[in-house]
Amino acid sequence: MNWLSSPLKRRPFFFSFLLLTVGGMSVSYALMALLLGNETPSPWYLEITFAWGLFVLAVFTPFAIRRAIDIGISKWWVVLLWLPPFFNLKFLMILSKYADFVISGAILWPALVVALFSLVYLGVLFFSPSETETHA
């Protein structure tokens, strides 16, 4: 059995999520201070912070897959965690900067729906009992 196919219980999953979130936010704030702290903000701010967010999500994905295996659902549901960044307003701003793309209200509603589904899935990963847990 390899590392990725082994189950991950609730508590280790929570602590790995917490560590990645705190570390990711710390670096994000450092990037913000570095790239926006000058009189002239860096033109690469959106791209760098978006890439950093994708990196943090890529590091989190194996933990989410292991947790999905532990609660007995398909690991393909982890794809739900990858959808919100691509519906993110920051991504749309990058796209509108390089293409003649106008952000409209019709785009924001599907983005909200995808984000809500992703949050529900994250809640399932946090609160679902393991398949091996006994229920009293």
Q: Using CA atoms, how far apart are residues 16 and 128, in angstroms rounded to an integer?
A: 16
Residue 136 banded pLDDT, cuts 50, 70, 90: very low
Whole-angstrom distance between the N-terminal and C-terminal Cα of the chain? 30
| pLDDT tens string 15-45 | 888 998 899 889 888 888 887 776 666 777 7
Distances in whole angstroms, Cα of residue 117 to Cα of each of 2, 91, 123, 135? 29, 19, 10, 27
| pLDDT tens string 44-103 | 777 787 888 889 889 999 999 888 888 888 888 888 888 877 777 666 666 666 666 666
